Amino acid sequence: MSKRLMLARLLNMFGVNFAVAKMKRNFLIVLNYHRIADHDHSTEFDNDVFEHSVDVFREQMVWLKQNFEILDEIHLVELAHSDNFELKRNAALVTFDDGYADNYTLAYPILKELGMSAIFYVPYSLIEDREVGWWDKISWLVYKTTKEKGNIRDIDLDFTSPHNRATSAKALHKYLKLNPYTDTKSIISELSEMLDVELPSVERQSKELMTWEQLKEVSDNGISVGSHSMSHRLLSQITEEEQSWEIKESKTLIESRLGKKVNTIAYPVGAVTSFNDTTKRLVKEAGYDVGFSFYPGSYKGKILDKFDIQRISTSSEFDLFKNEVVFPKIFF
């Protein structure tokens, strides 16, 4: 048992997290998710983006609803633009990135049943072209190859066991996150040729993603839809002109598709190295109200940078989840 889990269970045993959750602290936290797994879960794509089972997600949302005020996008924007906010209860916002189909089939029914709002962030081109992201394509190729070894861009790859395949996929994901787009844009096609594996068909990829009809439905029923760029390229790794296109064009086209204003954006990947000051300036100039990153943080009385609103990813272990949400500075 990890030290984090031991501490979490101790705090739960004495009711400390329950008491603090109920205590008025003028506290705000944003939770982020990607994929929810069904009971018969299996995937040919990136398994790491499946954070929780549908049962775990329901358990988390029920507890969150009981202990926090659940914000919608409008309220979050108001808080972000206030000098100092005052909350009647501690507050939480729920977000999803990448536009996966299970956001609609599994997460949305639970949110709707509980009367909870959320924001779904979608990369326009992936939804429009019915194409999964580069991380899913890499995982598909790595898991499908019959080869035992490989090397690309000086990265040694090992496919001799499920564990080694997963490790190789993670190494490739890391390479794409840390290197300029000019160096990485051809790696998917190179990998496909090297591993002698065809990329999944458009029909196969399409099954993994929400449709515009589904996004229109959720946007009419308490879920806001925001931009996750055009193509999910890391914004810090492309030119200012390319960043501007990713940021502005996605806003315009999503608005055209849904007939609603797009107020917020979540930066692809969202780590501190995934966007920069140029990104934030361009987001503001494009007319977004706020921008979301994806590294741990929380707020008490004030959001210091409305174009770098931090979000947490939570554990599936319920004792840990409760403490991560109540005590993020201790558990991250």
pLDDT of amino acid 17? 81
* 119 three-class SS: strand
pLDDT at 230 over 90: yes
End position of a domain, from candidates 142, 174, 199: 199
pLDDT band with cut points at 50, 70 and 90 for residue 22: confident
Nearest to 104 by CA among 127, 73, 124, 125: 127
Domain shared by 105 and 240, yes or no: yes
Assess whether 98 and 140 both reside in one domain. Answer: no
120 and 239 inside one domain? yes
Number of other CB atoms surrounding residue 144 within 10 Å? 17
**Measured distance CA(69)–CA(290) in Å, rounded:** 20
| Residues 177 and 230 occupy one common structural domain | no
**Whether residue 96 is found in the same domain as residue 159:** no
Mean per-residue pLDDT for 10-29? 86
User: Mean pLDDT score of the chain, rounded to an integer?
Assistant: 96
228 vs 218: CA distance, rounded Å: 17
Both 142 and 283 in a single domain?
Answer: no
Structure-token pair, residue 327: 């005590």
We report the CATH number of the domain holding residue 14 as 3.20.20.370
199, 219, 235 — which closes off a domain? Answer: 199
d(CA 105, CA 276): 34
Question: Which residue segment(s) compose the domain that 241 sits in?
Answer: 3-131+203-331
- pLDDT surpasses 90 at 18: no
The number of domains in the chain is 2
**36 and 112 part of one domain:** yes
Q: Do residues 230 and 307 both lie within one domain?
A: yes
Banded pLDDT at 13 (limits 50, 70, 90): confident
Beta-carbon contacts of residue 73 (< 8 Å; ≥ 6 apart): 117, 119, 224, 226, 263, 264
**DSSP, residue by residue, 12-71:** HHTTHHHHHHHS---EEEEEEE-EEE-TT---SS-GGGEEEEHHHHHHHHHHHHHHSEEP
Decide which of 199, 220, 235 is a domain's last residue.
Answer: 199
Mean pLDDT of 90-104: 98
pLDDT band at residue 19 using 50, 70 and 90 as cut-offs: confident
CB 211 within 8 A of CB 120: no
pLDDT tens digits, one per residue of 45-56: 999 999 999 999
Q: How confident is the model at residue 24 (pLDDT cuts 50, 70, 90)?
A: confident
Can you give the pLDDT at residue 14? 82
Same-domain pairing of 35 and 125 = yes
Whether 20 and 34 map to the same domain: the answer is: yes
Dist CA 200 CA 38 (whole Å): 22
Show the tokens assigned to 149: 């070894």
% helix, strand, coil for the chain, step of 5: 50, 15, 35
Report yes or no: 320 and 4 within 8 Å, Cβ to Cβ. Answer: yes
Do 112 and 143 lie in a common domain?
no
82 and 208, same structural domain? yes
CA distance 157 to 141: 12
Tokens 């996004």 locate to 215
